Chain A
Amino acid sequence: MEQPENRTEQLQEQLKIVKTESPWKIAVRRFAKNRLALIGLVILVIMFLICFVGPFFSQYTLNETDVKNRNSAPSSLHWLGTDKLGRDIMLRVMLAGRISLTVGLVATAISVVIGATLGAVAGFYRRYADTIIMRIADVFLALPTLPILITLGAILSDLKVAPEKRIYFLMLIIGILGWVGLARLVRSQILTLREQEFMQATEALGLRDNRKIFRHLMPNTIPIIIVSATLGVAGAILTESALSFLGLGVVPPTPSWGNMINAANNLIDFRKRPWIWIPPGMCILITVTAINLIGDGLRDALDPKMKNR
């Protein structure tokens, strides 16, 4: 029962190639047809625009404190209220978005690239490649992150790395620390995929390894990569503030969504001053949801098992 169907599918695939439309073009076309995915993309673009352009229209500046007007509720002067130093939350949320969006996306991209590639290589070759990569992964998992981060923070400080440049280290560190989980997830998928029939076909066709891995195995792991990436973006945005405390990221008064939400760390702020924590919280929520919508769209677009709708 299964065999013939599989064959027709493969035939269809090959036919597509014959039709000279590249898989990427198909993917783009499929993605463009996905309404939800497009909405996600639009939301994300708008977020970026607001965060990068919005602050130019604000009548306030970053370092401007106004202690007399601290903790004031949203008003016509301050649309989203002020924080405990009397700074305009609207402006801070937008400025924070520049940091948090960049950190969230770049750091996640780094860990996805490293994790997916290493995981796929380990799962595909097994034996030595697997042993070496997975033992390195073990070491990464077992290492205590906090002392390492403290040390790195101190080193950056001693090297007098300008605070505004430390954000790059931050993205790199979050990215590098995050690859292990995804590597193991992708590897587990590849381990089972490589035993399936379609891989025997690639074997028969005499395809080269990198083609097998990146064209035929990896696309099947896209769903898990997307879940991992969406969760990773939220994680990276919140992790940023913790790393920044140790000198590895932004320095106050530079805001980020993470450090803004951390500023409301008691029950009284929680109850009395929702305008302090709702805006950054909402921003993270919107970002994560948008990325997830895009991710779902990407998955459907890239999924070789999906019929050409």
Chain B
Amino acid sequence: MKKRLSLMLVTLMAFGSILAACGGGEETAKTDTTTPTETATTDNKTDETAATDEAEPAAEGESDAIGLTEATDMNSNPEAAKARTDSMIIGTTAPQGVFNPLFHQTAYDVAIDDTIFAGFIKVKGDGTYENDMADDIKISEDNKTYTFHIRDGAKFSDGTPVKASDYLFTMKLYMDASYDGQSDPLSWNIVGANEYNKGTAKEISGIKVVDDQTVSVTVSDYDAMTQVNLGGIAILPEAYYGKGYKQGDLTTVKALNTKPMGAGAYKMKNYSAGQEVDLVANENYYGGVAKVPNIIFKTTTDTTNMAMLQSGETDLDNITVNEDNVEELKSMGFLDVDVLKNNGYGYVAMNNKKPMFADVKVRQALTYGLNRAEVVDAAYGPYAEVINIPQSDVSWAYTADKINPYDYNPEEAKKLLDEAGWKVGADGIREKDGKKFEINFSATAENPVVDALIPIMTENYQELGIKLVTETLDFNAIMEKKDRGDYDMFFAAWGLTPDPDSTVYITDGAQNNSGYSNKEVDALYAKGKKELDLNKRKEIYAEAYQKINADAPEILMYQRTNMLAINGRLDGWDITPYKEYQHSLSQVEVAQ
């Protein structure tokens, strides 16, 4: 019996700690720069890197806690780290070994692929894009034809030039009927893609190879994301991946997942599953050979990642942000500690389709009546902030103008509930039409926010005369309740992509969890998606956020931070919340 129980215990406890570290969908993270929507995660401790650059002007109301703290005492750097003059070791959660930008799924595979592969464009520090392997991009008058010109000297790591036909080949793989990666390539609306997917055409009619360095792509419909969708894909060499590929069968391509080849700054030397990935500088990289010749991605876990930085076994790692960890890392002296805004936010969803939440006054009351500042402080201390619009405050689309902060105000909440017709009953619980105000609330366990949220929320709502019944559940189980619409309230988090376009708040949107519907918001999101001028988009989204803020479709909770600890001997980073550390690896050098 002991054996059985302990076996089960092992299973379950491990599950618990997994939740603590990455949550149900956390590992999926952002797939690549071409993802225009948001991702649901059980927002938790470690996930993909994001960072605010130190030079960036601090956003309004930002505390000192956020930003870069430089190493103070490089003399204390351990010998193990000092001895590595031609290499760096990056601590990472184990990648799954899917080193192919078409198929990768976890943020950890993505980080490695970002160093091996390159595309026509790349993300900039502010979340907009700039040219990478393309030196010229022309867009036709009607915004439907995009012509990319590949710069001279762009080569794959085997020395062969990157050609327009390689781009066409990569697109074919995306459009293949057996493609099961994370992207939704048919939604890019490339002319002829559907025919290729169904097998009725051998070529994609909308993609034309003009010459070796020029390719033009025609789409049937465009939006603000079209250029990013088309230019953002990493280009795979046809000569390497094309051997044995037949339309409708990607088996031979997938077989090369652990032996990737691209046109990025590094190439793969060795991969030991679950242990490490060894990369060496690509001497054919068009951007100049990387300054640190060797990079090792070594598997670490949240129990040991700090210890390994301390002993000099790793040079860089993501560490869970909390006061203890920040203090510990800073006290080591030889680490640059970068606390960066996370691209995402946590929220408490309300089922807008249920009668009690359909009333905007009730939703506002529940927002006013919850002491969000206390919850956030208890969970993250100074390393997270209460938010009031569903956008990161470092995004170009962020606005604080005409936004109601919903500061904790139980009196206002009670007033709104009274106005909505929910009167306090004999037992202290509000009721309306004979129905008690009782809310079922689901959340995942082992999450610092939920740990703080449940007791505080229970007490706050009790004061309003609302009975809160709480439960903890498996993340997927909560998501299934959501899909069926069989819930009152749940806690979850969204990851944000650089572009503000999203389906979270539009009527029946694919990611609309709460059933919120406002025709004006729908129209604004549609307009914003179709508008290509950044300043005009800014205004459109500001207006949308103001309306969402007033409607309070869900209780927005917080935007938290991530923390990157980097050995002070490495210089030359350019890291922001949108431009992750791997994007500047090729410029980093060892300062001795």
Hey, which bits of chain A sit against chain B, CB under 8 A?
A: 62-65, 67, 70, 84-85, 87, 111-112, 115, 141, 145-146, 149-150, 153-154, 157-158, 160, 162-163, 166, 174, 177-182, 185, 227-229, 231-232, 235-236, 238-239, 241-247, 251-253, 262-263, 265-269, 272
Question: Among the listed A62, A182, A251, which residue makes an inter-chain contact with B470, where contact means beta carbons less than 8 Å apart?
Answer: A251
Query: Which residues of B are found within 8 Å of A162, using beta-carbon distances?
Result: 469
Assuming the A-B contacts A85-B452, A153-B477, A228-B2, are A251 and B8 also in contact, with contact meaning beta carbons closer than 8 angstroms in the complex? Answer: no
- Please, which residues of chain B bring their CB within 8 A of the CB of A263? 451
CB pair A115 B1 closer than 8 Å: yes
> Chain B contacts of A70 at CB under 8 A?
378
Measured between C-beta atoms, what is the minimum distance from B483 to chain A in Å?
12
If A231-B6, A266-B324 are given as contacts, then 10 extra A-B residue pairs at C-beta distance below 8 Å, sorted by A number, are A67-B378, A85-B452, A141-B4, A231-B5, A232-B5, A235-B5, A245-B444, A246-B473, A252-B454, A267-B306
A residues within 8 A CB of B481? 154, 157-158
A247-B472 contact in complex given A160-B440, A232-B2, C-beta closer than 8 Å:
yes
Residue numbers in A under 8 Å from B459 (CB-CB): 63-65
**Which B residues are CB-close (under 8 A) to A141?**
4
User: Contact at B12–A65, with CB atoms within 8 Å?
Assistant: no
- A177 CA to B471 CA in the complex, in Å? 23
Query: B443-470 interface mask toward A, CB cutoff 8 Å, 1 = contact, 0 = none?
Result: 0111000111011101100000000011
Q: Beyond A85-B378, A232-B5, A239-B12, is A150–B456 a contact (Cβ under 8 Å)? A: no
B8: chain A residues at CB < 8 Å are: 145, 177, 239
* Chain B interface, DSSP helix/strand/loop, else mixed: helix
Task: Assess whether B19 is interfacial by the CB under 8 Å rule.
Answer: yes
A268 touching B328 in the complex, CB below 8 Å, given contacts A242-B15, A245-B445, A251-B470? yes
B486 contacts chain A at the CB level, 8 A cutoff:
yes
Taking CB atoms, residues of chain B closer than 8 Å to A115 are 1
> Is the Cβ of A244 less than 8 Å from the Cβ of B472?
yes
**B16 at the binding interface (Cβ < 8 Å):** yes
Which residues of B lie under 8 Å from residue A241 when comparing CB positions?
16
List, sorted by A's number, 6 A–B pairs whose CB atoms are closer than 8 Å: A65-B456, A242-B16, A245-B445, A252-B454, A253-B455, A267-B303
B307 x A267 contact (CB < 8 A): yes
Task: Evaluate contact between B471 and A251: CB separation under 8 angstroms.
Answer: yes
Chain B residues near A145 (CB-CB < 8 A): 8, 11-12
CB-CB nearest in chain A for B15: A146
Q: B205 in the interface, Cβ–Cβ < 8 Å?
A: no
The answer to whether A163 touches B5, judged by C-beta atoms less than 8 angstroms apart, is no
B2 touches A231 (CB 8 A): yes
The distance from the CB of B79 to the nearest CB of chain A, in whole angstroms, is: 23
Task: Contact check, B458 vs A239: say whether CB atoms are below 8 A apart.
Answer: no
**Contact across chains for A246 and B9 when beta carbons are under 8 A apart:** no
Number of interface residues of B (CB under 8 A): 50
- Nearest B residue (CB) for A252: B454
Evaluate contact between B20 and A232: CB separation under 8 angstroms: no
B4 touching A178, Cβ below 8 Å:
yes
Contacts of A238 in B (CB 8 A): 9, 13
6 tightest A-B contacts by CB? Answer: A242-B12, A235-B5, A231-B2, A245-B445, A181-B1, A154-B477
A149 nearest CB neighbor, chain B only:
B12
Determine whether the beta carbon of A245 is less than 8 Å from that of B480.
Answer: no
| Nearest CB of A to B300, in Å | 13
Kindly supply a per-residue 1/0 record for chain B positions 298-314, scoring 1 wherever the CB is within 8 Å of any chain A CB and 0 otherwise: 00001100110000000
* Known A-B contacts A251-B470, A267-B303, A268-B324; A85 and B455 likewise in contact (beta carbons under 8 Å): yes
Q: Which of A150, A179, A245 contacts B476 (CB 8 A)?
A: A150
- Check A177/B4 contact, CB under 8 A, given A154-B473, A163-B469, A253-B458: yes
Chain A residue nearest in CB terms to B6: A235
On whether the beta carbons of B12 and A243 are closer than 8 Å, the reply is yes
Choose among B1, B307, B446, B480 the residue that contacts A228 (Cβ–Cβ < 8 A): B1
Q: Which residues from 177 to 235 on chain B have a C-beta closer than 8 Å to any C-beta of chain A? A: none
Contact across chains for A252 and B455 when beta carbons are under 8 A apart: yes
Chain A residues in 8 Å Cβ range of B6: 231, 235
Closest to A242 in B: B12
Q: Which residues of B contact A268 (CB under 8 A)?
A: 324-325, 328
B3 is an interface residue with CB less than 8 A from chain A: yes
In the bound complex, residues from chain B placing their C-beta under 8 Å from that of A163 are 469-471
- B16→A231 contact, CB < 8 A: no
Does B561 sit at the interface, judged by CB under 8 A? no
Partner of B446, one of A182, A262, A269: A262
Are B16 and A157 closer than 8 Å at their CB atoms? no
Interface status of B72 (Cβ within 8 A of chain A):
no
Residues of B within 8 A of A185 (CB): 1
**Chain B residues in 8 Å Cβ range of A182:** 1
Q: Are A245 and B5 in contact (CB under 8 A)?
A: no
Interface residues of B in 288-333 (CB under 8 A from A): 302-303, 306-307, 324-325, 328
Is B409 interfacial (CB 8 A cutoff)? no
Residues of chain A within 8 A (CB-CB) of B480 are 154
Minimum Cβ distance to chain A for residue B409 (Å)? 19
The answer to whether A157 touches B477 (Cβ under 8 A) is: yes
Residue among B4, B450, B471, B474 with the most chain A CB within 10 A?
B4
Asked if residues B472 and A252 are in contact (CB atoms below 8 Å), the reply is: yes
